[in-house]
Structure 1
Amino acid sequence: MNNIAQLEGMRCRKHYFTLPLDYAQPQGPTLKVFARELQGLQTNAENLPILLYFQGGPGFAAQRPLANSGWLKRALQEFRVLLLDQRGTGLSSPVSYRTLSGLSATQQAEYLRHFRADNIVRDAEAIRQQLSPQMPWSVLGQSFGGFCILHYLSAAPEGLQQAFITGGIPSLTRSADEVYRATYQRVLDKNREFQRRFPDAQQLLNTLAAHLRQHQEYLPNGDRLTVEMLQLLGINLGMMQGPEAVYYLLEQALLEGTDGQILNPLFAEHFTQMLSYHTNPLYVLLHEAIYCQQTSSNWAAQRVRAEYPEFAPDAAELLLTGEMVYPWMLHQISNLRPLQPCAELLASKPDWPTLYNLQKLAANKVPVAAAIYSEDMYVAREYSLETAAQVANLRYWLTSEYEHNGIRMDGEHILDRLIALNKGAQLR
């Protein structure tokens, strides 16, 4: 069967790999890991070196490209691109409450402890040994993908020719509590900016929240729309065009029915589409674990939230939250509810392995170019700069031109500048 698909301006080839669940037990259970290889249409494109893309997340599959555009357009000039579905996502042994239903909560937690950046990188290196055994490859990481690259540099730098990071330089040592204190402050700033840009947004939020406190309204998937769930819309405030999308959604939240105000079905449908917790459980189950090294998170975002009473769901002036995850989500979101005992076990796990080798990073020889977005709501600028100073051979471009999803909005330009950085070009 021909395994090469044709898309606008490029060819695609599917790759499936059988890899260990636990690399400490290579003869034990295995996973299917999927990656999609993209090639340009130019002569000899099939022989170009490989650029592996680490998707943001955790818990999201790699993008499904439609055409040779955006950052792919720039990348395919010099590389073949490999879009990796990280384990548990997309076509890589995907995780959901249904795929885990035959396991006890303890067994589920034991299984999912293998789904952090360390094992994602082990998968990547095992794939490189099959596709590019004689040559290190280049890597590009967006958001959580950058976290994976910092681990790659710590664990297997010999596999890397160069690295590019966009919006994803983590702290190497700070706790989840410290990360969320910084995050809440940035989310406060984004709320203020949202209210400044859209003067009636606060009243729209307050009116909708009051309605939800007095009436039981439900989303198309059957979940009740609570005030706490409404606040989750704030995850979009840190994206380019995200505040606009939230505002236009709030404008049409309520309708006048024969018996008073009712929730607009159009709002309910679009609200569900703007949040992905119900379809991407790994994001909730492992989000806080990406910050844990020899410690547990114990629902850090929930605990730290108590230090910021402005975010209380019963506040007179309702604010939106960010990308934090909360234990109540495992009760209110039906697709997560069966995984609630597992989530509690993962949140209390005290011995997550260390992710970063500070000595190796200080002596790093792999060229790294990073875009740091100064107004990033998700990854603290100060922590990114702190880490950049601890990693040798890392050059960064600090810019206020983009929000966290800059690679999606202007990826061709951003990747071009990062490639130039690694080539030693002087940025103008």
Structure 2
Amino acid sequence: MTSEFSASLTFSGMIARKHQFSLPLDYQNPDGEQISIFVREISSPENQDKALPFIVFFQGGPGFGAVRPAANGGWIKRALKEYRVLLLDQRGTGLSTPVSFASLAHLPASEQAEYLSHFRADNIIRDAETIRKQLTNDEKWTILGQSFGGFCVLKYLNDAPEGLAEAYITGGIPSLTRSADEVYQATYKRVQAKNQDFFNRFSDAQDLVKALASHIQDNEVFLATGERLTVEMLQLLGINIGMEQGPESVYYLLEQALIETATGTQVNPLFLAHFCQLLDFNTNPIFALLHESIYCQQSASNWAAHRVRQQYPEFNYQTDKPFLFTGEMVYPWMFEQFNNLKPLQQAAKKLAEKQDWPNLYQVDKLADNQVPVAAAIYSEDMFVEMQYSLETTAQVGKLKYWLTSEYEHNGIRMDGEHILDRLIAINRGEKLR
């Protein structure tokens, strides 16, 4: 079923309508528990009454709701010229039966893990395809995926290509066959390179971060969300140095981390508040719970990032060695240190040990893909190994790509209008502007 708000909402240069769908938690048991999936439809004022095709956006993550646009800009501005845009809150995020420690508190750990096992890309695509049939009278639509959203695009091409007219990917072409261990062996090297770039750019950053690390080792320092700040937590800020404008945000935060007071050196309350805003583990638990599972096919992750880290001891901070940030890796200790992850520790352990994750991709089927696909691959991307992305481009039929060093992982947020325009031109064989 779908229920739709009758009134349209007017934003700056956009008209929005809300759609809510009741869909199965488990598609193998369609009459069982139902969850709510929320989609926001965006159109331009001049096109709001036109029957334009849809383009569906798959957000990065996993575990984050779709973008909430405040104005007609970026990739949405380009898309609205010829589409109606659908912003899908993937199951468990945004307004789609959101997952949190509170929403799962009534379940024992084994049932929490079973519930969460239904929140990977396979079921996200089942949701989208069910919505397409209900919303469009079974017409084909176009899809766009950023980061983890690119994983969803490939899963859609694998599972339901008959529903697609075209597909676009930015910053997220996964390997079809490589394990989580292989992925992290590659990405730790990319994180090392980003650390080198960061500390070369900001010549006093190493001194600033080591002074802070020393202080929090010697003193109890508590974040605005109540956790004691640890060096391991501090290293997690590195997820931001792989983003456009992220290194600047981290540096400015470090620059004002320590202040002198009448009672001695203290951590600036501003730092303690802003630190929490740069990390999402307390507010978006699906990311920590399911991040490694996005690579799993008939195998367990067994805390792959944590195990592979032992091959890179330079990430284990020592006072007489350079400080290094980590990337988007998830570690078991996070479920001991972050307040909103602590209640999910046993569920996380069960998910890490789960061996029977369904296969995600069929290599032979994707080789015969007939849906036009255009992808942007960022050669300096900290989160996605370029060689693995290129490996996949050779395995998927009708996939054309644009390899560029112009952007970091979040390029679509910074220059989305140009990026989507170029990808549309590539897909359609048009002359690049």
Q: In structure 1, what is the equivalent of residue 325 of structure 2?
A: 320
Take 2:295 and 2:68, find their aligned partners in 1: how far apart are those partners?
A: 28
Q: In structure 1, what is the equivalent of residue 261 of structure 2?
A: 257
Pairing 1:7–2:11 present: yes
Pairing 1:188–2:189 present: no
Please tell me the root mean square deviation across aligned C-alpha atoms, in Å: 1.0
- 1:395 CA drift (Å): 0.4
- After TM superposition, the structure 1 stretch with the greater mean CA deviation from structure 2, 312-321 or 4-13, is 312-321
Q: In structure 1, what is the equivalent of residue 229 of structure 2?
A: 225
- For the 8 Å contact 1:236–1:243, the answer to whether it is kept is yes
Take 2:54 and 2:338, find their aligned partners in 1: how far apart are those partners?
A: 39
- 1:259 CA drift (Å): 2.4
Q: In structure 2, what is the equivalent of residue 348 of structure 1?
A: 353
Partner letter of residue 109 of structure 1? A
Pairing 1:391–2:407 present: no
Pairing 1:59–2:63 present: yes
Cα distance per residue 1:362-415 (max 9 Å; x no partner) = 000000000000000001111000000100100000000000000000000000
Matches within 5 A, 1:119-158: 119-158=123-162
Pairing 1:369–2:374 present: yes
Q: In structure 1, what is the equivalent of residue 386 of structure 2?
A: 381
- For the 8 Å contact 1:39–1:46, the answer to whether it is kept is no
Q: In structure 2, what is the equivalent of residue 81 of structure 1?
A: 85
Partner letter of residue 183 of structure 1? T
Partner letter of residue 381 of structure 1? M
Pairing 1:48–2:44 present: no
Pairing 1:175–2:179 present: yes
Take 2:48 and 2:298, find their aligned partners in 1: how far apart are those partners?
A: 47
Take 1:44 and 1:307, find their aligned partners in 2: how far apart are those partners?
A: 55
- 1:45 CA drift (Å): 4.8
- 1:41 CA drift (Å): 1.2
Cα 1:227–1:357 shift into 2, 3 Å: same
Take 2:144 and 2:262, find their aligned partners in 1: how far apart are those partners?
A: 54
Take 1:177 and 1:214, find their aligned partners in 2: how far apart are those partners?
A: 34
Match of 1:281 among 285, 293, 311: 285
Cα distance per residue 1:67-90 (max 9 Å; x no partner) = 111110000001000000000000
Tell me, which stretches of 5 or more residues in structure 2 are unaligned?
none
Aligned to 1:168, the other structure's residue is in SS state: coil
TM-score (structure 2 length as normaliser):
0.98
Give aligned-pair identity as a percent.
64
- 1:3 CA drift (Å): 2.9
Q: In structure 1, what is the equivalent of residue 250 of structure 2?
A: 246
Instruction: Extract structure 1 runs of 4+ deviating beyond 6 A.
Output: none
Take 1:321 and 1:278, find their aligned partners in 2: how far apart are those partners?
A: 18
Partner letter of residue 222 of structure 2? Y
Cα distance per residue 1:248-306 (max 9 Å; x no partner) = 10000000122221000011111110111110000000000000000000000000000
Aligned to 1:262, the other structure's residue is in SS state: strand
Partner letter of residue 22 of structure 1? D
Aligned to 2:402, the other structure's residue is in SS state: strand
Q: In structure 2, what is the equivalent of residue 20 of structure 1?
A: 24
